[in-house]
Structure 1
Amino acid sequence: MSITETEIAAARGRLPRAFRAPLAERVRRWALWGLFAGLIVYCLIDFNFAPGRIWTGLGRLGNVLAFMFPPYVWKSWAEFGEIAKGLGETLSMAFLGTVLGALIAFPLSFFGAANINRLLPFRLGVRRGYDIIRAFETLILALIFIRAFGLGPLAGILAITVSEIGTCTKLFSEAIENTSEKPIEGVKAAGGSRLQQIRYGLLPQVNPVILSIVLYNFESNVRSGTILGIVGAGGIGFLLSDRISAYRWDEAWSIIFLIIAMVYIIDWLSARLRGRFIGTWDSAR
């Protein structure tokens, strides 16, 4: 038996309170919304989010954008060589940092997976270690390594590597935990050892996920490498910061365009790799 809209409306007219939330729940809901709105208003006032300031800032932003056009065109390889070297350093930093971090994180991730590591205190300790590493932003790690190893791409590579260890171990562990036990049980029933169960029952399930994670993190680390260059870790970010400091906005815009193009190409290549090794390929991309 189905209830019509007319019957529901009639029941709502006879018993209006039955269709409303209890008073305590409504008061709690109003209090939460009031607290949320008050927090937003406080932040806007404390950060001087004034209409006049925003309008002035937009005018200055327009002036900066006007200085960026037309973009600068390098007229010789000798002039463009420094930019190409910076792009190569940023790409190398991202690649080496991602690969080294993933290689270190892969074996460590098994210690944090509940279906592999049955020792709860040990597993929780490993997971908290992941959290400690992830608590340090890549930029902070770069500043630390610059003080230790000096300026240059080495500090950027180490910063990305350490950051990747914390991120990849968590994501790899979760991917391992989300695998099905049936293939593992099949290998076990055939007489396979524990290592063979992992090799033939678990890894074929988790490898595509790990590949996707590594490829996505590589794309993200290319952008991070640009920021690391600004603080002295080398790469294209250092050159971009230098051009902005010298008010060479047209050349800065050209460098930004090259960074965007590099990230787009990496995204396209990553999609091709995922399609080849995972077996899914979206032709629209």
Structure 2
Amino acid sequence: MTERTRPSLRRTALADLDALRARHPGQFRTDWAGRLRVAAVLAGLFGLAAYGMWALDFSLGRIVHGLGRLGGFALEMLPPSAGGRFGVFLQALGETLGIAFLGTLTAAVFAFPVAFLAARNVVPNPFARFAVRRGLDVVRSVDVLIWALIWINVVGLGPFAGALAIACSDFGAFGKLFSEAIETCDRRPAEGIAAAGGSSLHRIRFGLIPGVLPVLASQVLYFFESNTRSATIIGIVGAGGIGQYLTELIRVLELKQVAFLVLMILVTVAAIDWISGRLRRAVIGGAGR
């Protein structure tokens, strides 16, 4: 492109732009009302954040002052030490993994059939589907820590209460996720089975379930990884596992043993994340072949 052709191209582009403005004036008009709405929403959010900081007594000075204490705690945690209780801690960690595994598996097994009742392409009756969905919402709205406190008062202290707490908490979440996976599943296999004269059970068994199983398995693996951390938290309230030792050691300021337990949890969660990630890719990749 030469220097002589550039001005002519620029004039042509400006002429085209003027023609577009003439034909579509509304597209080039500044939407001041929309901009004011966006500015009002942003101002409201900032105002709400400022009020929340004031109501919660947020103080930057307290944070800066607390950093010194936090550094002191960090120094007291070094070097991490099991204090001669490595075998006890390892057994408690295995108990935590057992709580997470049994709770996740129990929730998935019970949520699997209920999810079909909440799926629009399986149960066309809106009233029955509404009742199932709202029931799942009620179960899911209660946090796992609250479920742990409830089951501790029902069955007593220990890992059994922890597994029941995770199962109840995940039942509602699995029911919602499974039903959404069933609704978004490819309908062509089920329609083909129905066209061939298959019953509703045949359509579910051979048309829907094979298509959603890889997605459901991936979700269960992810929840098992997440529930390993949850099992640690509920152990703090007496639901067994390594969390019980963690809270006791924090109370007596045995910070080196606390650091050792935290390292054990971190290594375990990282290993589960790596293994479950490979399994998820294998399950989804195998289903796609």
Q: Judge same fold: TM > 0.5, yes or no.
A: yes
Alignment partner of 1:64 is 2:70? no
Q: Is it true that 1:246 corresponds to 2:252 in the alignment?
A: yes
Which residue pairs with 2:31 in the alignment? 21
Q: How does 1:176-255 map to 2 (within 5 A)?
A: 176-255=182-261
1:42 aligned residue: 51
Question: Residue 136 of structure 2 aligns with which residue?
Answer: 130
**Could you tell me which of 41, 50, 55 is aligned with 2:64?**
55
Q: Distance in 2 between matches of 1:130 and 1:111?
A: 11
Matching of residue 153 in structure 1 with residue 159 in structure 2:
yes
Distance 1:195 1:26, change over 3 A: same
Q: How far did residue 45 of structure 1 move?
A: 1.9
Q: Is the 8 A contact 1:109 1:170 kept in 2?
A: yes
- Render the CA deviation track for 1:122-141: whole Å, top value 9, x for unaligned: 10111001110111000011
2:127 equivalent in structure 1? 121
In structure 1, what residue type is equivalent to 2:148? Answer: A
1:237 counterpart letter in structure 2: G
* Structure 1 pair 18–148 and aligned structure 2 pair: CA distance change class (3 A): same
Q: 1:163 to 1:9 in 2, by over 3 A?
A: farther
Q: Quick one: which amino acid aligns to residue 187 of structure 1?
A: I
Distance 1:240 1:4, change over 3 A: farther
CA RMSD in angstroms, aligned pairs only: 2.4
Q: Quote how far apart the aligned CAs of 1:54 are.
A: 1.2
Aligned structure 1 segments of 4 or more residues deviating by more than 6 angstroms = 9-12
SS across alignment from 1:232: coil
TM-score scaled by length of structure 1: 0.89
| Bigger CA radius of gyration | 2
Moved more, 234-243 or 262-271: 262-271
Mapped partners of 1:30, 1:223: distance in 2: 40
**Cα distance in structure 2, aligned partners of 1:146 and 1:9:** 74
In 2: Cα distance, 1:178 partner to 1:95 partner: 27
Figure out how many residues of one structure are paired with residues of the other and give that number: 273
Change (3 A) 1:232 1:8: farther
CA distance in 2, matches of 1:89, 1:34: 49
Change (3 A) 1:230 1:6: farther
Distance 1:53 1:10, change over 3 A: farther
Contact 1:274 1:280 in 2 (8 A): no
Identity within the alignment, % = 46
Q: Kindly tell me: are residues 280 and 196 of structure 1, through their superposed partners in 2, closer, same or farther at Cα, counting changes over 3 Å?
A: closer
TM-score, normalised by the number of residues in structure 2: 0.88
Query: Retained in 1: the 8 A contact 2:96–2:228?
Result: yes
* Distance of aligned partners of 1:141 and 1:6 in 2 relative to their CA distance in 1, 3 Å threshold: farther
Q: 1:185 to 1:54 in 2, by over 3 A?
A: same
**Residues 7 and 61 from structure 1, CA distance in 2 versus in 1: closer, same or farther, beyond 3 angstroms?**
farther
Taking a change above 3 Å as real, the CA distance of residues 7 and 191 of structure 1, as seen in their structure-2 partners, is closer
**Alpha carbons of 1:10 and 1:93: their partners in 2 closer, same or farther (altered >3 Å)?**
same
SS in structure 2 opposite 1:57? helix
How many Å apart are 1:151 and its aligned residue?
A: 1.0
> Which consecutive unaligned segments of at least 5 residues does structure 2 have?
1-11
Q: What is the CA-CA distance between 1:194 and the residue it aligns to?
A: 1.8
| Contact 1:146/1:233, CA 8 A, preserved across alignment | yes
Question: Contact 2:218/2:283 (CA < 8 Å) preserved in 1?
Answer: no
